[in-house]
Amino acid sequence: MFSYAEEKKSSAEEMIHHHMKHSINDGRISLGLSPEMKQHQLSNMRSHLKAVQAITSFLAEEEFEKASEIAHSKLGLTEEMRKMCNMFNNEDFTALGLAFHESGDSLGQALKTKDTTKSLRALKTTLGYCVQCHATFRQ
């Protein structure tokens, strides 16, 4: 439990921090992105989420080829994604981003086998990267 004085001090520190970094400190590492990079990253992220939705629905309909195509083109390590991941000034973030996109290609390959269990395991691995990165980094 914090005493009142301690509580006051920590909330004052929080405010200073907020002022400096334009975001509350929730323990995640800030990437320090420019406003343009922020917009770009978020729109990219929304497209990742959309891809996961499409893959899940194709998988449910056993349309493996279509699901595989989305996995490779939207989540896989395309030249565009490789370039994007290398634009950040944080090696760990870049490494995680590249590993994530590699998992997107592995997912594409798993879907090609038309094995639902194998495909779901690969999807779980890819989603693990989403969760891990979001827990570690913020804009």
Both tokens of 42, joined, read: 């978020």
Nearer CB in complex with ligand HEC: 9/50: 50
State in angstroms the smallest separation of the CB of 97 from ligand HEC: 4
Nearer CB in complex with ligand HEC: 1/91: 91
Beta carbons within 8 Å of 135's beta carbon, 6+ residues apart: 28
Q: Let me know: does 105 contact 74? Beta carbons within 8 Å.
A: no
State in angstroms the smallest separation of the CB of 60 from ligand HEC: 17
State in angstroms the smallest separation of the CB of 105 from ligand HEC: 13
Both tokens of 78, joined, read: 């395309």
Q: Let me know: does 76 contact 108? Beta carbons within 8 Å.
A: yes
Length of the chain: 139
Question: Under the rule (CB under 6 A), what is the footprint of ligand HEC?
Answer: 42, 45-46, 48-49, 52, 93, 96-97, 100, 126, 129-130, 133-134, 137-139
Nearer CB in complex with ligand HEC: 118/138: 138
